[in-house]
Amino acid sequence: MSAREAIIARLREQLRAADRTRLPGRRGVAALGVPAIDAALPWRGLARGGVHELLGGDGDAARFGFAAALLGRLPVGGGRILWCRGGHATREIGRPYGPGLAGFGLAPERLLFFETRCAEEALWAIEEGLRCRRLAAVVGEGVATGLAASRRLQLAAEAGDTLGLLLPAPGKAATTAAFTQWRIDSWPGSPEAAGLGASRWRVALQRCRGGGTGEWLVEFDDEALCLAVVAALADRSLAAE
């Protein structure tokens, strides 16, 4: 290894160390409430003051249920939640169903829905929302962000110390500056369950700044309003990248 390569390698390791030790903002972290998953994250939960991506397949609503379950865990006194979505999302999949959100522990009255006509308006609304310290979280639905736009959103989240969740349209994901990137897919329920059974999702942590990756099968308990790991789905390293 040349001297130049050694310097670059050392700088990269210093940056990784800085990412791993970055402290969350004054409002701490948004824990998922699943010890196995929280422990896999450098912040022991989703870092506030940061943007996180939830990806999913076309026609699969799993990530919406997962997002609702996460948002439902945020303290009620921490502020309301801004949900930004483009008009095309309403035309294609309709508006979110209040009782369905409540079933995941997210009270509809905590939400502020903002529908936009185009992606530029949505990005503006998301950025402004992330800067607002009175909001507990901001959700951006159906908005594809490139590296430059996602960096602006990340800076806004740091300024507002606000949790940001991005739900890009299927097939629209791009390289971003998000702290974490997840893939959420529906999973068949237990054969022993009566009726539809509990919601099950395959949760894959695909990328984590300063962390590793992992896959879990989780189930939502609609009585306790919490997530629980059913099984680890893959023997993937959780060591830092």
Checking if the pLDDT of 25 tops 60, the result is: no
> What is the reported pTM?
0.82
CA distance 223 to 207: 31
| SS3 readout for the chain | CCHHHHHHHHHHHHHHHHHHHCCCCCCCEECCCCHHHHCCCCCCCEECCEEEEEECCCCCCHHHHHHHHHHCCCCHHHCEEEEEEEHHHHHHHCCCCHHHHHHCCCCHHHEEEEEECCHHHHHHHHHHHHHCCCEEEEEEECCCCCHHHHHHHHHHHHHHCCEEEEECCCCCCCCCCCCEEEEEEECCCCCCCCCCCCCEEEEEEEEECCCCCEEEEEEEECCCCEEEEEEECCCCCCCCC
- Contact in structure between 181 and 207 (CB atoms under 8 Å): yes
Q: In the structure encoding, which two tokens stand for residue 223, read together? A: 């009585």
pLDDT mean over 90-94: 59
pLDDT at 163: 96
pLDDT at 7: 59
pLDDT mean over 144-155: 88
pLDDT at 15: 46
Domain range annotation of the chain? 3-232
The residue that leads in pLDDT, 234 or 35, is 35
pLDDT at 8: 60
pLDDT mean over 113-138: 90
pLDDT at 33: 94
Most confident of 146-150, 151-155, 230-234: 151-155
pLDDT at 237: 45
pLDDT mean over 138-153: 88
CA distance 6 to 74: 44
pLDDT at 176: 84
What is the fold of 3-232?
Answer: Rossmann fold (3.40.50)
pLDDT at 19: 44
